[in-house]
């Protein structure tokens, strides 16, 4: 009977406490739901504002992410406060949790700092073709912690911002034009001047190849089995690869048509009949 009385007393006590706490709980739930709804509206408004002003997509994604997380953290603090947690205790808890999380997520903090550097220094933007961390691709998105590239093979490469900002970055797009250098080997018996004239003619016939700066054909090396000529020209980013492939194909077709030899690696193999030598030794 005493156990039953104690249970009833506990049940009555905690029921009364729950009833007293229920308004705060309902208010906190309402605040959470309403706050998340309001945050979504604010974030959409911020995104629309950036779209109207035609800001850099990298800056837009970064600003939207920062705003979203900042508002959610503020909402979390308000909800916890309405549940009766004292502000001083909450600050102490957040400080301790922040220290522990900071130590555990040093790499993530480094990536966050890298994202900030990318936004401030702007080594590239969305749509640029870059090479970094041994990966080449078109920048699709730069978020708080990672940068996404679409590779030439239509694959998604995700690179941490911390590693990205601490490595060399080659931006092929930012200057608008690119210079190509294609090596073509001709045989030592071929006429170098004839080969140069042929290659220069094909470079001048292509409208997409810049004539200022003027294209060049120069001898770069007297290699083991060929005299190497370098075809050098400038083109816009949009026309670069078409001009590159055109120069390679036309160079081979026109040089061969003019009788200019294009050598390829060759190797002489000598066979020895050791069985005859062995027989001669045995007869002696």
Residue 42 within any structural domain of the chain: yes
Q: Are 198 and 255 in contact (CB under 8 A)?
A: yes
Q: Are 233 and 179 in contact (CB under 8 A)?
A: yes
Pair 91, 156 in one domain = no
The region of weakest confidence among 65-79, 122-136, 198-212 is 65-79
Pair 183, 163 in one domain = no
Pair 129, 59 in one domain = no
Contacts 24+ apart (CB under 8 A), 132-135: 132/159, 132/164, 132/167, 132/168, 132/169, 132/170, 133/159, 133/163, 133/164, 133/167, 135/159
The residue from 171, 190, 208 where one domain ends is 171
pTM: 0.59
Domain range for 195 is 177-257
Q: How far apart are CA 99 and CA 80, in angstroms?
A: 20
| Terminal C-alpha separation, the chain | 123
Pair 6, 92 in one domain = yes
> How many domains would you assign to the chain?
3
CATH number of the domain that 235 lies in?
3.30.70.100
- In this prediction, residue 104 carries a pLDDT of 46
Q: How far apart are CA 90 and CA 73, in angstroms?
A: 12
Residue 264 within any structural domain of the chain: no
Q: How far apart are CA 4 and CA 12, in angstroms?
A: 12
**Residues 62-72: pLDDT tens digits?**
777 778 878 88
Pair 8, 86 in one domain = yes
Q: Tell whether the model's pLDDT for residue 138 goes beyond 90.
A: yes
Pair 91, 145 in one domain = no
Q: How far apart are CA 213 and CA 125, in angstroms?
A: 27
Q: Tell whether the model's pLDDT for residue 91 goes beyond 80.
A: no
């Amino acid at each position: 009977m005493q156990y039953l009385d104690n249970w009833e007393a506990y049940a009555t006590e905690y029921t009364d406490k729950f009833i007293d706490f229920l308004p705060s709980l309902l208010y906190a739930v309402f605040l959470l739901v309403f706050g998340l709804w309001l945050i979504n509206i604010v974030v959409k408004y911020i995104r629309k504002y950036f779209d109207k002003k035609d800001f850099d997509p990298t800056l837009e994604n970064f600003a939207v992410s920062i705003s979203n997380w900042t508002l959610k953290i503020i909402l979390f603090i308000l909800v916890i406060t309405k549940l009766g947690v004292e502000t001083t205790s909450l600050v102490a808890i957040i400080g301790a949790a922040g220290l522990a999380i900071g130590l555990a997520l040093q790499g993530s903090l480094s990536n966050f700092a890298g994202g900030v550097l990318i936004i401030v220094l702007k080594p590239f933007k969305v749509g640029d073709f870059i090479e970094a961390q041994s990966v080449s691709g078109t920048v699709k998105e730069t978020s708080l912690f990672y940068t996404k590239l679409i590779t030439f093979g239509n694959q998604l490469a995700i690179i941490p911002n911390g590693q990205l900002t601490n490595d060399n970055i080659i931006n092929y797009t930012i200057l608008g034009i690119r210079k190509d250098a294609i090596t073509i080997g001709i045989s030592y018996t071929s006429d170098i001047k004839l080969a140069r004239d042929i290659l220069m003619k094909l470079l001048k016939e292509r409208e997409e190849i810049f004539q200022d700066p003027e294209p060049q054909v120069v001898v770069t090396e007297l290699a083991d089995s060929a005299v190497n000529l370098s075809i050098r020209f400038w083109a816009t980013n949009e026309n670069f690869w078409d001009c590159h492939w055109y120069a390679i194909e036309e160079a081979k077709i026109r040089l061969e048509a003019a009788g200019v030899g294009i050598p390829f690696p060759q190797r002489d193999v000598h066979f020895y009949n050791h069985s005859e030598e062995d027989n001669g030794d045995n007869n002696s």
